[in-house]
Chains A and B, each alone.
Chain A
Amino acid sequence: MESLDLMGIKDISPDVLVFWSWQWAKLNATIVYTWITMLLLILGSWLATRNLQAGRELSRWQNFLEVIVNTMRDQIREIAQREAAPFLPFVGTLFLFIALSNLLAIIPGWVPPTASLSTTAALALVVLIGVPIYGIQSRGFKEYLKLYVQPSPIMLPMNLLGELSRTLALAVRLFGNIMSGTKIAAILLAITPILFPVVMQALGLLTGIIQAYIFAVLAMVYIASAARIQDQREQKAHEQALAKGDD
């Protein structure tokens, strides 16, 4: 298999496959395949959306993308219990990028960027930073920080730890699944070359999609939890104001 040629079975991460380097900067397989994935995504989107129709006639690609985007919007709306528009680009891109890079693993020689802990860590970091950004954006800086001393200031370390651990879990879960998937496929191909690897590949596609879904949904849940607390407080304040008005 080409991936075997490109990456040794002993190489856990595609980061070690460096094509070009200059001082501290280097161009490894993870970055290259990430670019390919990005290029495919952007090219596909541009091709499908350059001639959009709002009428009855739809191109297949537009229809396909509309189904995907609409499903994502529905999911986000369901989780966030509010309008999906602010979260769609972030959460949707997480899902699309992870899903596409995982799905392309079906192509021989493809190195999924998500099989690199650096990529998954980067995505987890983005979520780690994105959650407070969304929280502060919708709630305000002080109010967001108050979340870390809920229900009492004693819980502050726990909250911080929880924040970090879930980020770590996000990164490792995705990395472990995809890396192990590709490794298992490679190993099985070496042991039983004909039928079994195909089944495992199919299973790999399924787990790839599931992992993309899990990652995106968890990110959304983290973001939404920050926003929802705010909503609940607002509701309380609203009720109090109403009660005062009655008095």
Chain B
Amino acid sequence: MLIDWFTVAAQVVNFLILVWLLKHFLYDRIVKAIDQREAAIATRFTEAEAREESAAREKRELAQRRLELEEQSGAMLAEAKTQAGQRRQELVDQAKQEVEGQRNNWREALERDRQALAADLARLAGQGAAGMARRVLTDLAGAEADRQSARVFLDKLAALEGEERRELTEALGQAESLEVRAAFDLDQEQRARIGQALAELLGREPDLEFSQDPDLILGLEIRLPGRKLAWSLDEYLREMEEQLLKRLARSLNRGAVIGAEPAPKAEEAPHA
């Protein structure tokens, strides 16, 4: 008999005991350890995924921010460049203006100096010429010349016509008294003739006042408020000096960069 039933029973019991013991010592423990490890691994994977995701998100954010920063810096750089360019232009303009202003100032000062110098020179020349003529004529003047000058004056007075005569008549008519100045002492006859000529002109007897003024050199003049009627060498000489100075000023101005009024103001003096 190959089967011993006692042994079979014993083996069944043995086997059941083995199952129970192995379940306790092996399967439960090992399975638990495996499950724990798998859970730990799963957790770690989840964490790793979460970390990866957050890292990717962070990376995206950083890239975005870097892009923004680059854009910002580019914009700032461009703005700074623009501002710097503007500022530079402003500074250059300012410097140009300052240089220009200084140059103008300097040129004006130079011009002023030049004009002043030229005017001085012209005045000196004119005055010199006039003074020379005046000296020569003073030397030549005499009693005959005085008389002659009075006659010329009266002739000119009589020779006035039209518009000039009317203007003079109006001017004389408004004045109550007239001052007659002569380079020499007028005698009675001459005074009478002058009074007569004026009376003819005005149509009434004017109140006359005679005086002597050697500065006239030769000739005589009638002074009114704001006006005068004259024939004298002084007048001629003055006129000559005036013309001379005007000519000189004109010729000076022709070469000037900045136009300027002739410095010496000629005295307004219409001759009779």
Q: How far is the CA of A52 from the CA of B105 in the complex (A)?
A: 104
Nearest residue (CB) in B for A116 is B7
Q: Are A54 and B37 in contact (CB under 8 A)?
A: yes
Nearest residue (CB) in B for A43 is B25
Chain B interface mostly: helix
Nearest residue (CB) in A for B10 is A31
Tell me the smallest distance from the CB of B70 to a CB of chain A, in Å. Answer: 44
Given A24-B6, A89-B27, A117-B3, A125 and B22 contact (CB-CB distance below 8 Å)? no
Which residues of A are found within 8 Å of B12, using beta-carbon distances?
122, 125-126
Q: Are A118 and B31 in contact (CB under 8 A)?
A: no
Given A42-B18, A54-B37, A92-B22, A69 and B27 contact (CB-CB distance below 8 Å)? yes
Q: Are A35 and B14 in contact (CB under 8 A)?
A: yes
Task: Answer whether residue A113 sits at the interface, using C-beta atoms and an 8 A cutoff.
Answer: yes
Which residues of B are found within 8 Å of A24, using beta-carbon distances?
6
Q: Are B26 and A69 in contact (CB under 8 A)?
A: yes
Task: Answer whether residue A26 sits at the interface, using C-beta atoms and an 8 A cutoff.
Answer: yes
Which residues of A are found within 8 Å of B36, using beta-carbon distances?
54
Provide the B1-21 mask, 1 if CB < 8 A to any CB of A, else 0. 011111111111011111111
Q: How far is the CA of A31 from the CA of B37 in the complex (A)?
A: 38
Q: How far is the CA of A24 from the CA of B32 in the complex (A)?
A: 43
Tell me the smallest distance from the CB of A66 to a CB of chain B, in Å. Answer: 6
Q: Are B4 and A28 in contact (CB under 8 A)?
A: yes
Cβ 8 A contact of A122, one of B11, B23, B30, B37: B11
Q: How extensive is the interface on chain B, given as a class?
A: 20 to 34
Task: Answer whether residue A13 sits at the interface, using C-beta atoms and an 8 A cutoff.
Answer: yes
Q: How extensive is the interface on chain A, given as a class?
A: 35 or more
Q: How far is the CA of A35 from the CA of B18 in the complex (A)?
A: 9
Task: Answer whether residue A45 sits at the interface, using C-beta atoms and an 8 A cutoff.
Answer: yes
Q: Are B8 and A65 in contact (CB under 8 A)?
A: no
Given A88-B31, A89-B27, A119 and B18 contact (CB-CB distance below 8 Å)? no
Cβ 8 A contact of B11, one of A42, A65, A118: A118
Mark out the residues of chain A between 84 and 118 whose CB falls within 8 Å of any chain B CB in the assembled complex.
Answer: 85, 88-90, 92-93, 96-97, 113, 116-118
Task: Answer whether residue A211 sits at the interface, using C-beta atoms and an 8 A cutoff.
Answer: no
Which residues of A are found within 8 Å of B78, using beta-carbon distances?
none
Task: Answer whether residue A207 sits at the interface, using C-beta atoms and an 8 A cutoff.
Answer: no
Q: Are B34 and A119 in contact (CB under 8 A)?
A: no
Provide the B26-70 mask, 1 if CB < 8 A to any CB of A, else 0. 110111111011001000000000000000000000000000000
Q: Hey, which bits of chain A sit against chain B, CB under 8 A?
A: 12-13, 15, 24-26, 28, 30-31, 34-35, 38, 41-42, 45-46, 49, 52-55, 62, 65-66, 69-70, 73, 85, 88-90, 92-93, 96-97, 113, 116-119, 121-123, 125-126, 175
Q: Hey, which bits of chain B sit against chain A, CB under 8 A?
A: 2-12, 14-23, 25-27, 29-34, 36-37, 40
**19 A–B pairs (Cβ distance < 8 Å), ordered by A:** A26-B6, A30-B4, A31-B7, A34-B11, A38-B14, A41-B18, A41-B22, A45-B22, A49-B25, A52-B30, A52-B32, A62-B33, A96-B22, A118-B5, A119-B7, A121-B3, A121-B8, A122-B7, A125-B12
